[in-house]
């Protein structure tokens, strides 16, 4: 049976583009049901969406496509994902407040399906503090926001407020609606982000890792049924609500937290960019300016190697961030750290790897298997890595 996506169309000029989004969702195999807000009906009609989807479209809480059945409950239970497209500032505010005013807001409050929000509005409205705070509240509860694009908007102004591309919106729904049972009952520990090694009370050594790959792995592992512990260095992105998050700062703290979490783990994935060195004896006072300064660096312990030594049977997947000699260095790390697999990616490119939304690379397994990871969103790359790792754990 195809997965049900509910599309909430709210009253923005971009409401007409929701028709193309519905068609693309259906082309990708989803069953689509549309719910319009009262103001959306000023722009587009229910008849349009009923003709497109072959399903009744609803607006008021008491609209009952099947007599005697409350659609806001039936639909809420059947939905694999709820998409708000386009989402107005008002719709975003109502959802952030948890209001249940019409069919659409009632449906969202009655459902625990993942929520994807595609805003479209005047750039000033989009950038208003109130709107950004409402989006942040929704994100902190797990909603995915498909950022609007920059450009001319209907009112003649310019800036960020145009509905995102149909592909970006449909990809976000496909990711949010993804479910698999491959990691059911498994405990996956993931390290993410950079570490910070203090030099003095105000300065530190760190790197450009954003944590996006590790957080995408956490979201994908949860969608595959795993219990997830995310050990993360300082990052500015929001973790998936269902992951147990342990925030650390230094490599030593990450080592301790990871080893403790691995006591009950089936799989460890090391996506963190751990600092290889720390300052020997960080100064407790701010170091004053001088002509030259030398800082003595001492090596940090390798977290994956320490986990391998403490838990000889744990499945471990590492990452190798390389600028050259990719395969050779990756295979050396696979071997030296006694890992089950290693993902190598090229960190000299701006469009993938460090801080980018996409990734690309190759996953090498210790048994000689190789999985090509073509350029894709970090979530999709995470999914492929975990699927391959889960199969490899099952074969052992």
* Beta-ladder partners of 230: 190, 245
Residues 166-205 that bind ligand CTP (CB under 6 A): 191
The count of C-alpha atoms lying within 13 angstroms of the C-alpha of 171, restricted to the half-sphere facing its C-beta, is 12
Of the candidate residues 74, 78, 249, 276, the single one contacting ligand CTP (CB under 6 A): 276
Within 13 A of 291's CA, how many CA atoms are on the CB side? Answer: 0
Smallest distance from ligand CTP to CB 251, Å: 6
**Phi, psi (deg, nearest 5) at residue 4:** -90, 130
Among 115, 304, 381, 388, binds ligand CTP (CB under 6 A): 304
Q: Which DSSP string do the residues of 63-130 spell out, in sequence order?
A: --SSTTS-HHHHHHHHEEEEEEEEE-HHHHHHHHHT---SHHHHHHHH--S-EEEEE-S-HHHHHSHH
Residues 34-93 that bind ligand CTP (CB under 6 A): none
Among positions 58, 303, 334, 373, the unique one binding ligand CTP when judged by CB under 6 A: 303
Q: Which of residues 212-271 bind ligand CTP (CB under 6 A)?
A: 251, 270
Report in angstroms how near the CB of residue 346 gets to ligand CTP at its nearest.
Answer: 12
For residue 214, give every residue at least 6 positions away whose Cβ sits within 8 Å of its Cβ, in sequence order, or none: 190, 191, 192, 193, 230, 232, 269, 271, 272
CA distances from 360 to 239, 345, 381 (A): 22, 6, 7
**Total chain residues near ligand CTP (CB under 6 A):** 15
The CA distance from 16 to 284, in Å, is 61
Helix (H) or strand (E) holding 368: none
Pick from 95, 272, 373, 385 the residue near ligand CTP by CB under 6 A.
272
302 binds ligand CTP (CB under 6 A): yes
Residue of 145, 193, 136 whose CA lies nearest to 173: 145
Smallest gap from residue 299 Cβ to ligand CTP (A) = 8
Binding string to ligand CTP for residues 105 to 144, with x set by CB under 6 A, is what?
Answer: ----------------------------------------
The DSSP secondary-structure symbol of 39 reads: T
Nearest CA to 95 out of 74, 119, 78, 123 is that of 119
44 vs 321 by CB, closer to ligand CTP: 321
Whole-angstrom distance, CA of residue 352 vs CA of residue 390: 24
Shortest Cβ 296–ligand CTP spacing (Å): 18
Pick the catalytic residue from 35, 155, 262, 393: 155
Each residue 309-348 as x (binds ligand CTP by CB under 6 A) or -, in order, gives: ---------xxxx-----------x---------------
User: Applying CB under 6 A, which part among 31-39, 65-73, 101-109, 302-310 lies near ligand CTP?
Assistant: 302-310
- Residue closer to ligand CTP (CB basis): 146 or 272: 272
Rounded to the nearest whole angstrom, what is the least distance from the CB of residue 364 to ligand CTP in the complex?
13
Instruction: Give the residue with the Cβ less far from ligand CTP, 248 or 321.
Output: 321
Q: Which is nearer to ligand CTP, 18 or 303 (CB)?
A: 303
Of 102 and 322, which has the nearer Cβ to ligand CTP? 322
Q: Nearest CA to 296 among 283, 282, 279?
A: 279
155 carries an active-site annotation: yes
Under 8 Å CB-to-CB from 247, ≥6 apart: which residues?
A: 232, 234
Residues that bind ligand CTP (CB under 6 A): 191, 251, 270, 272, 274, 276, 300, 302-304, 318-321, 333
Residues classed as catalytic = 155
């Amino acid at each position: 049976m195809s997965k049900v996506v509910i599309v909430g169309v709210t009253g923005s000029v971009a409401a007409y583009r929701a028709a193309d989004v519905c068609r693309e969702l259906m082309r990708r195999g989803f069953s689509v049901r549309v719910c319009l807000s009262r103001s959306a009906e000023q722009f587009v009609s229910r008849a349009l969406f009923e003709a497109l989807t072959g399903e009744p479209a609803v607006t008021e809480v008491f609209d009952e496509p099947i007599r005697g059945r409350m659609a806001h409950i039936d639909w809420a239970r059947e939905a694999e994902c709820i998409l708000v497209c386009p989402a107005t500032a008002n719709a975003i505010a109502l959802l952030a407040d948890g209001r249940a005013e019409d069919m659409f807001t009632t449906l969202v409050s009655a459902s625990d399906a993942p929520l994807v929000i595609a805003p479209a509005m005047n750039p000033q409205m989009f950038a208003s503090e109130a709107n950004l705070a409402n989006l942040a509240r929704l994100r902190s509860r797990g909603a995915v926001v498909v950022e609007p694009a920059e450009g001319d908007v209907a009112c003649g102004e310019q800036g960020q407020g145009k509905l995102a591309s149909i592909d970006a919106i449909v990809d976000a729904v496909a990711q949010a609606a993804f479910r698999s049972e491959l990691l059911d009952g498994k405990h996956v520990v993931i390290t993410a982000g950079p570490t910070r090694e203090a030099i003095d009370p105000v300065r530190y050594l760190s790197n450009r890792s954003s944590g996006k790959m590790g957080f995408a792995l956490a979201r994908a592992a949860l969608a595959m049924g795993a219990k997830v512990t995310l050990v993360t260095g300082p990052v500015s992105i929001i973790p998936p609500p269902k992951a147990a998050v342990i925030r650390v700062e230094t490599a030593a703290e990450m080592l301790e937290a990871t080893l403790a979490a691995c006591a009950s783990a089936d799989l460890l994935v090391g996506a963190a960019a751990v600092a290889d060195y720390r300052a020997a004896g960080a100064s407790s006072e701010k170091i004053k300016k001088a002509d030259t300064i030398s800082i003595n660096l001492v090596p940090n312990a390798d977290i994956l190697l320490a986990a391998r030594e403490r838990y000889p049977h744990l499945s471990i997947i590492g990452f190798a961030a390389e600028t050259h000699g990719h395969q050779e260095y990756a295979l050396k790390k696979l071997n030296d750290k006694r890992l089950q697999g290693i993902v190598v990616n090229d960190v000299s490119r701006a469009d993938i790897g460090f801080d980018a939304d996409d990734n690309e690379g190759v996953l090498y397994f210790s048994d000689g298997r190789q999985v090509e990871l073509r350029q894709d969103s970090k979530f999709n790359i995470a999914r492929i890595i975990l699927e391959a790792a889960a199969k490899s754990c099952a074969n052992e």
